[in-house]
Chain A
Amino acid sequence: MFMPSAITKQPEINAAVVAAERLPGVRYIRYSVAPDWNGQSAIFFRVVLADEASTGERLRDITTQVIWRMSEWLNLPELELFPYFDFRSESEQATLNEPSWAKAS
């Protein structure tokens, strides 16, 4: 599926990612653009968190902040992509070692 906004808006998306990566507890963020399960254009963010931010109260706080702030920064109506967020800890990613979740080199 061709999603032109994903191309034209890439600088804004990257800026939002860089800003979110500065949030305490966020290690790094990867993303991809694809249709969601309903066939709607979507952007999928994969957020890797520090282990100490990956449980309980801190997990609740940091995930809320990431979703809130990125949704604001992305300017959703113009982006024309619905954002989805997934989270995992550094140690979970170290165990699973999934390339799509690996830090970009």
Chain B
Amino acid sequence: MGFADDLLEQAKHLLNKDGDALKQASLRRAISTAYYALFHLLIDEAVGKWGVEHQRSTLARTFEHGSMAQICEESVKSFYIAQQPPALAPLKDVAHTFNELQQKRLIADYDNSIVWTKANAETWVEKADTAFKNWRSVRSLPEAQDFLLYLFLPKLMPKPEPKKPKPERDLL
């Protein structure tokens, strides 16, 4: 297993290590670790394309959390604006989960006024796990490769196409 997978396993371990005697420290570290698992998964996938192996760790350090979040937000919006095919929904979910986890990581690490519950922490560690699976199901698609490129070089991200009219949709 790679580093990202190890981090994900550690997040699951932290989530369950205290049994019923839940500790905020464990829940917070679980959330933070789940975020870094997904962060490193995407970076490893991106820099793994670079041909000169010894330069990959240097390249990996150039990724910025804020820029990556911005690209993920644009990717989620683009999915709906361009009415992309359902086959790309897993990629959209990866982007959405990245942003959610980044937000939650910042709260878990820095905002002690927020109380974490088991259900919420379990949800987001689980979503990280799902994001790993989703990523691996779409990673060979050209759109997924473009997504990695934009995470690495955000300025290359194209503006979304003009919005098409949304079809009427019933709420349930």
Are A71 and B118 within 8 A (Cβ)? Answer: no
Q: How far is the CB of B110 from chain A (nearest CB, A)?
A: 8
Contact with B along A64-104 (1 / 0, CB 8 A): 10010001110111100010111111001000101000000
Closest chain A residue to B81, Cβ basis = A77
* Chain A residues whose CB sits within 8 angstroms of the CB of B73 once the complex forms: 40, 82
A59 & B122 in contact (Cβ 8 Å cutoff): yes
Contact with B along A31-43 (1 / 0, CB 8 A): 0000011101010
Name the contact of A84 in the complex, choosing from B66, B70, B103 (C-beta under 8 A): B103
Tell me if A19 counts as interface (CB < 8 A to partner B). yes
Interface size on B, residues (CB 8 A): 31
Q: Does B25 belong to the interface (CB within 8 Å)?
A: no
In this complex, how many residues of chain A approach chain B with their Cβ under 8 Å: the count is 36
Cβ contact within 8 Å between B172 and A19: yes
A16 to nearest B CB, angstroms? 7
Are the C-beta atoms of B120 and A87 separated by less than 8 Å? yes
Shortest CB distance B87–A (Å): 15
Contact of A38 among B69, B127, B169, B171 (CB under 8 A): B69
* Any B CB within 8 A of the CB of A9: no
Residue pair A72, B169 in contact (C-beta under 8 Å): yes
Q: Is B166 an interface residue (CB 8 A)?
A: yes
List, in ascending order, chain B residues with CB within 8 A of A37's CB: 102-103, 106-107
Q: Among B66, B123, B127, which residue has the most Cβ atoms of chain A within 10 A? A: B123
Q: Which of B96, B117, B118 has the most CB of A within 10 A?
A: B117
Q: Which residue of B lies closest to A15 (CB)?
A: B171
CB distance A73 to B123 under 8 Å?
Answer: no
A49 contacts B by Cβ under 8 Å = yes
Q: Is the CB of B160 within 8 A of A77?
A: yes
Q: How far is the CB of B91 from chain A (nearest CB, A)?
A: 14
Would B115 and A86 count as touching, CB distance under 8 A? no
Contact B169 A76 (CB under 8 A): no
Give complex CA distance A73, B120 in Å: 22
In the assembled complex, the Cα of A75 lies from the Cα of B70 at a distance in Å of 18
Name the contact of B169 in the complex, choosing from A22, A71, A73 (C-beta under 8 A).
A73
Question: In the docked arrangement, what's the CA distance between A64 and B123, Å?
Answer: 9
User: Does B144 count as interface, using CB distance less than 8 angstroms?
Assistant: no
A76 in complex: contacting residue of B66, B77, B130, B171, CB < 8 Å? B77
Known A49-B119, A67-B96; further 5 A-B contacts with Cβ < 8 A: A38-B66, A38-B70, A73-B171, A77-B80, A88-B117
